[in-house]
Amino acid sequence: MNAVTSLSRSGPSIISYFAEAIIEAGIKTGLSQGLAKELYIQTLARILILIQTGLIPQRLSEMGTLPGVINQAGLNFLNSMDFKSHIVDTILASKKG
């Protein structure tokens, strides 16, 4: 499988899998499934707009860790699990398969 096919086929699956996890987390924090899903959709839409306007994803992550934003603990947890490398390895594995 070539790189374009690997990314274009794996990307939606990974993003959908991640969406499932975020929605599930929202439900576990007390939100209804509908509200958790809507909040995820709104968040994803805002991120896509920012990326389309030229803001790089790394900068978006950094913005989420500014004072007053409670995201730092979550990002620290993902980093401790080497989350980004796992996503990269998933795409690379699909290229081989």
Distance, in Å, from the CA atom of 92 to the CA atom of 70, rounded to the nearest integer, reads: 32
**Residue 66: its pLDDT value, please?**
60
| Cβ-based neighbours of 33, under 8 Å, separated by 6 or more | 23, 27
Render pLDDT for 38-78 as a digit per residue (tens, 0 to 9).
999 998 898 888 889 988 877 777 766 666 566 778 888 88
Identify the residue with better confidence: 17 or 62.
17
Query: Looking at the predicted structure, is the pLDDT value of residue 1 above 80?
Result: no
Query: Looking at the predicted structure, is the pLDDT value of residue 18 above 80?
Result: yes
pTM over cut 0.85: no
Distance, in Å, from the CA atom of 94 to the CA atom of 3, rounded to the nearest integer, reads: 9
Range of the domain at 17: 3-96
Residue 31 pLDDT level (bands cut at 50, 70, 90) = very high
> How many structural domains is the chain composed of?
1
Distance, in Å, from the CA atom of 63 to the CA atom of 6, rounded to the nearest integer, reads: 29
CATH classification of the domain holding 7: 1.10.3730.10
**Residue 95: its pLDDT value, please?**
79
Average pLDDT, the chain: 86
